[in-house]
Amino acid sequence: MKYILLHCSSRFFSHENLRNTPEQPPQPHKTADIVFRNGNIYTVDKQFKKTSSLAKRIGNTTKVVDLQGKMIMPDLVDAHMHVVSGGEFLLKCNLNYQPLPIAGLLAHVQGCIDDEGAGDDVWLEVSGSITKPHLDQLATNRPVMLRSADYHTVLANSRALEISNINADTPGPANGVVERHPGSREPSGNIEAGKAALKLLREEGITTFQDAAANPTFNAIFNGIKTDDALSASVNLDYRIATPKTLGAVDGIAIKAFIDGVITYPTLTAAPDAPWAPNGTWIGEPYWEPAFLEQLFLAGTDVRLHTDGDLAVKVALDAAAAFEQKHSKKKFKFGLACDEVTLASDWACFAQLGVDAIMSYQWTQLSSFYIPNTFKTLADYRLDNLQAYPQIENAGRPIVYGSDWPIDPLDEFLALKVAVTRSGDPENPNSPASFELPFDGPFPGVGEIDLTREQAIRSITINSAKFLRADDQIGSLQKGKLADLIILEKNFLEVPKGKLGRNRVLVTVVGGEPVFIAEDAGDFVQLDGLTAKFPNHEEDPLNKRLAARAIGGFAGKKLSAKGQKAAQLLRKRGECLHHKH
């Protein structure tokens, strides 16, 4: 029998050995609120134990959950997300890239309008593409704007153009254009958001996250959610800053800044150590030299930098080396996010300097982001330096994982599968491999050094917890830590490699209290009447609204196979924060 004991009232694990030694006679204990038994429980401690000797103490009111062999592991800690932005997207009226007749698309938008019952001056933002003449057919006086699937085109109805004072004489904006009809020249073309995001996070098993481009208003958002007793995850905020002129200009103990942009074609704003192509020219120099890091570290500020190109990574590591040489006794917390291209000579520097690489495994899939133009642009030698998280880990610095959601769909176990195999999943609609060839294949660098399953799990649990300075409370299942854990449908440590990305969370527990239970969880485990704090049925007002906002329901989870395929064909990598500076 395998047990784990939870005390909801204290929110902490309370473990004891099943056998008591003479030197330590049995002591009286309170009974547990919940006991999980008959499962495969992975502690993710230093030994990565699969435990079978955690205590049980069952009383008259104890809920006993029979896991029937299912896997328990610590909660997921996502160290790089944009949670408020993701929640705002979930609240939008979303056409979900579906190729429906215009009448069907307009009917969905009209449903969003009717459901809100808002006044004539309240804007409605829609994710999708419908032209102005069609938008003007909607039964509303409200201003309506739509963002296209690539997030770079905005369409609006007549009312929105009127309010925005855009007409036939309006000049095009800087670095943009107002599309016009050839003849007439007429233009053609927050707490609730946090709650929506938290709903998706608990369904994914994420109970701690860091918003990697936050601003001070986010404090009010999450404090408001906490006041409503609706917080289901621990919140960490990195305040985004531009190049600081003085230390006083930095407001916060954890900050995020951008050294460069992205490597993907045609943006090419990442900073390369040499021309992108052998016969190319320099494109995408660093936005700024991080010489200011010394003052930040001395002030005790935790720093995360976006570094996508190998020069940007090198510049940041050199700054860390200079600080370490000058202030050898001063400890600092420094993370480099993305790191899509790195120099082999820098892989060991992460460990030597104590710098964390925060990486998004799902980018290590063949996709239209790379094939054909990005791969053609990169010099051949860089293909072995793409997404080098196995090399950095095996050089001594464990990787920290961050999904960067909503840049990509939130699918943590697909990402972990990619971490282990450097390939996508042809049966997962969130994976480009579902397009089959040429995307159903290995990413460059496969077969050299891969992450193990244990390393992948650590990266999204204890490693991320350490980066967030929270590993004394979360990240592993150990005595004295918070009772944050998840139950999985499949055992990630045992299923065939090809099926690693087809997993899901059945139950999410935060502080000993279930916050999510899948509708069909009872088909896999015996729950003994266990209920979740947050209802999972569509009759709940928030759930009902979120389900109605998008074609295919909340987060598109009820799209048909055909609908999922259509969404995958049109989906882009979202509105990337990385190229804005």
- Of 107, 179, 153, 111, the C-alpha closest to 570 is 153
pTM: 0.85
Give the pLDDT confidence score for residue 150 in this predicted structure: 54
Residues near 268 by Cβ (< 8 Å), separated by ≥ 6?
Answer: 261, 262, 276, 283, 284, 377
Give the pLDDT confidence score for residue 282 in this predicted structure: 61
Give the pLDDT confidence score for residue 78 in this predicted structure: 98
Give the pLDDT confidence score for residue 245 in this predicted structure: 57
* Cβ neighbour number for residue 336 with a 10 Å cutoff: 27
Containing 548, the helix (H) or strand (E) segment is helix 541-549
Give the pLDDT confidence score for residue 496 in this predicted structure: 96
- CB of 119 within 8 A of CB of 143? no
- Of 373, 427, 412, the C-alpha closest to 568 is 427
For the chain, residues with pLDDT lower than 70 are 1-31, 52-59, 148-152, 172-189, 243-252, 278-283, 446-448, 568-581
Give the pLDDT confidence score for residue 27 in this predicted structure: 46
In order of their start, the domains of the chain are 83-189+541-570 (no CATH), 193-478 (3.20.20.140)
Residue type, 83: V
Q: In what order do the strands lie in the sheet with 154-156?
A: 93-94, 124-127, 144-147, 154-156
What are the strands, taking DSSP E only, across 178-312?
Answer: 206-214, 234-240, 254-258, 302-307
Give the pLDDT confidence score for residue 275 in this predicted structure: 82
Give the pLDDT confidence score for residue 241 in this predicted structure: 80
Mean pLDDT, the chain, rounded, equals 84
Query: Which long-range contacts (C-beta less than 8 Å, at least 24 apart) are formed by 549-552?
Result: 549/90, 549/91, 549/92, 549/93, 549/94, 549/112, 550/90, 550/92, 550/93, 550/94, 550/96, 551/94, 551/95, 551/96, 551/98, 551/100, 551/108, 552/96, 552/98
Give the pLDDT confidence score for residue 203 in this predicted structure: 95
| Tokens representing residue 325 in the block | 């040489």
